[in-house]
Structure formats: structure tokens, C-alpha cells
Structure 1
Amino acid sequence: MAVSRELSRFVRDALAQGRSREEIAEALGASGWSASEVADALGAWAETAFSPPVPRPQTTVSARDFFVYALTFGLMVTGAIYLVQLLHVLIDMALDDDNFASPSRIRWAIAVLVVATPVYLWLTLRERAKLAADPALYRSAIRKWLTYITLLLSAAVLLGDLIAVIYAFLSGDFTLQFLLKALVVAGVAGLIFLFYLNDIRKGDAA
């Protein structure tokens, strides 16, 4: 929740005058500010005896972050989709003699992966180096949003994959071919989820 400038200025001035956080919270609450607004306003200032009050680090937003992280996550999603498609086609070719996969589908999936994979890896490694050199970059709001969106999408895919497996088992359509395809989806989505979950944890610890 964004804190208004007036509220932030009031809290800063009150802390600078030696008012306790309890007194400030009580005064703001009596004036109609909600508990969450009060908590956010007070949380923006470090709990130190130093005067004037010391601001806490805040999240940042920049056009550069949007371009880099949107491109990175877009490449990741595209690459994951075509990797799953390619592996599914190969499973069909290996286990179903009557299945004749379109060569164009295989060629297109390989072409996408040949382009998307190295670009994604380059962008990711480049950003990891910058994050290691300057942990303050972990506070990028765009980076956090896109990371959590990625976690949401991968978790939804994992749950959908599990539902499909259970449904196939109950309906009698559970075959080795289906199982291998489900494992491919779970493997790709699971690796993405674990990778970005670890990334979030690193950001919280930074």
C-alpha cells in the first residue's frame, strides 16, 4: 500500500520530535487512518534512536526493469511451452507407431528453443551478476511482481497436471504415454517453480 506524502511527512516529524510509535498510531487512528495505513507509514522509518528518523529502503520501479524482466520471463514461458511440446511429440513417436508427428512442429519447436534458450540464459546470468554486486536491485517492484506471477503460473500448471493424472486414472485412460507426458509437464513446471522460489528467498534475505 502506498503511503501518502502528507502521512509520511507527519510520521517523520512526529518521530523527530520524540513521539513514541504508540502515540503516533493512536493519534492517526483517532483521525480516521486505517490500521494498515498507520502500519505502513510507521514501517517506512527504521526503529532507531537516531534523529532525524532514518527511512527504510523502498521498492523501486523503472522502465529498464520492465523491459529486462518482461523479456526474460516471456522467453522463459515461451521456451517452457515449446520444450514440453517437443518432448510430447518425441514421446508420441517413441511409443505410438501409428502416430506420425508433423516434422514442421518439431522443427519449429527446435527453432524457438535455439533462439529463446541462449537469450534467456544470457539475460538471467547478467541479472544475477548485477544482483550479486548490488543487492539493492532485489527491491525492484517489477521484478517481484513478475517473479510471483511466474510462481503462480507454475503452481497452477502443477495442480492442473495432478488433476489430469487423477482424472485419467479414475476414467481408465492412464497409460504409459500419458504418464510420461504428465511427468514432462510436472518436471518443467516444478523446476521453474523451485528456481524462482529460491530467487524470492534470496531477495527476502538481501
Structure 2
Amino acid sequence: MAGNKELAQFVRDALSAGKSRVEIAAVLGQAGWSAQEVSDALAGWAEVPFAPPVPRPQPIVTARDFFIYALMFGALLFGAGYLVGLLHALIDHFIEPATGSATYRIRWAMAVLIVTPPLYLWLATRERRRLAADPALSRSAIRNWMTYVTLLFAAAVLLGDLVAVIYAFLSGDFTLQFALKALVVAGIAGGIFGYYRYDGRRGQAG
């Protein structure tokens, strides 16, 4: 950690002295610093013709962000899982009405969905308003991490769904009931992935 601080201070002093980024990178490489360390240190300063060097905005990490975004994305994923469960139970209920387990699953899923979507929407709307009022909040490292964890989860579900469909087809178990359930999983996971992929690109463009 101390080495990184010394590296950042050296880069700042060198830029203040009028040294070019190429010169700074070359001398640091000769001194034993890795290319990634040098690149990160130089990236901390904006490429604008001004002295002293102008620092770039840094990611923000707060306990408040961790609580809000963990709760928001947790509600999203938890609710999405029970939405899948509800739709699967409805499919079972209409295709195999003789089974009584679907009724219990439907009731439990509905109870969860009465709580989680409103919680997610309230938190998401609240955070959107905060971001609109202060765009600097978009640099929240917690928000970015949670976004990409959600994308990873959705991508994993989509891949698993695809594997399950291929396996069912090869084993001869590809029924209408199975196809509808696979479509539900793909639709919900794909919707989450597409939305947050778009949201991430929009945030980077902004």
C-alpha cells in the first residue's frame, strides 16, 4: 500500500515537472514497476494541459451504499427466483391439475412477491433520483460490483437453462411442460441481464 502511495506521488511530481507520460512509464518500467501498476498510476491523473496535474474522479465506497444496493439487488434476485417458482407452479397447475403441491407453491411465491417487487422498485426509484441529483454517485464501487454480480448470476442462469434444454432434447424428455418452464427462466433471466447490461453501458456513456 505504501509503495502505491509512493508511486502515485512520484507520478504526480513527474507530471508537475513537465515529464511526458511515455517518459514516466519508461523510467518506472526500468525501476521494476509492472506495466499494470504504471498504467493504473498514470490513469489517476487526467490528460489535460494544466499544472499541477488534475486528479481523475475516484470510485466511491460507503457503508450506506453497501446496505442499500445489497438490499436492492437481493430483493431483485430473491423476487426473480420466486417469480420463476410462481410461473412454474402455475404451469404445473394447469397441465397437471391433480397434483396438490402447486397450490402451496403458488401461495408462498405470491406472499414473497407481495413484498420484494415493491421494495426493489422503491429502492431503485430512490437511487435513480439521487443519481439524477448528483451524477458523482454513479462512481459508487458497490453499485458497480452489485450490477456485475447480478449480470453474472443472470448469465449463469441463462447458460444453465440452455444446457438443461439441450439435455432434455437429447434424452427425449423435452415436453411442453418442460419447454414452458425453460422459456420462463430464459425470459426472466434474460430480461434482468438485458436491463442491467443496458444500464451499465448507459452509465459508462454518461
Mapped pair 1:72 → 2:62: no
Corresponding residue number in structure 1 for 2:51: 51
Instruction: Read off the aligned partner of 1:148 and give its amino acid letter.
Output: Y
Corresponding residue number in structure 1 for 2:122: 122
The alpha-carbon deviation at position 102 of structure 1 amounts to 4.5
SS of 1:46 mapped into structure 2: coil
SS of 1:18 mapped into structure 2: coil
Corresponding residue number in structure 1 for 2:93: 93
CA distance in 1, matches of 2:173, 2:3: 55
Aligned-pair identity in percent equals: 65
1:143-158 aligned at under 5 Å gives the runs: 143-158=143-158
SS of 2:136 mapped into structure 1: helix
Mapped pair 1:39 → 2:39: yes
CA distance in 2, matches of 1:97, 1:189: 27
CA distance in 2, matches of 1:102, 1:86: 9
Answer whether contact 1:154 1:189 (CA < 8 A) is retained: yes
Runs of 4+ in 1 over 4 A off after TM superposition: none
Instruction: Read off the aligned partner of 1:14 and give its amino acid letter.
Output: A
Answer whether contact 1:3 1:40 (CA < 8 A) is retained: no
Corresponding residue number in structure 1 for 2:82: 82
Answer whether contact 1:139 1:203 (CA < 8 A) is retained: no
1:1-206 aligned at under 5 Å gives the runs: 4-206=4-206
Unaligned runs of 5+ in 1: none
CA distance in 2, matches of 1:117, 1:38: 45
SS of 2:55 mapped into structure 1: coil
| Structure 1 residues 194 and 3: alpha-carbon distance in aligned structure 2, compared to 1, 3 A threshold | farther
The alpha-carbon deviation at position 103 of structure 1 amounts to 3.0
Answer whether contact 2:79 2:117 (CA < 8 A) is retained: yes
The alpha-carbon deviation at position 198 of structure 1 amounts to 1.2
The alpha-carbon deviation at position 135 of structure 1 amounts to 1.7
CA distance in 2, matches of 1:68, 1:6: 35
Answer whether contact 1:138 1:203 (CA < 8 A) is retained: yes
SS of 2:185 mapped into structure 1: helix
* RMSD, aligned α-carbons: 1.6
Unaligned runs of 5+ in 2: none
Deviation per CA, 1:112-164: give whole Å up to 9, x if none: 10011101100011111111222211111111111101000100100110111
SS of 1:203 mapped into structure 2: helix
CA distance in 2, matches of 1:195, 1:135: 20
Number of corresponding residues: 206
100-109 or 60-69, which moves further after superposition?
100-109
Deviation per CA, 1:80-137: give whole Å up to 9, x if none: 0111001100000111133223533222111110011101100011111111222211
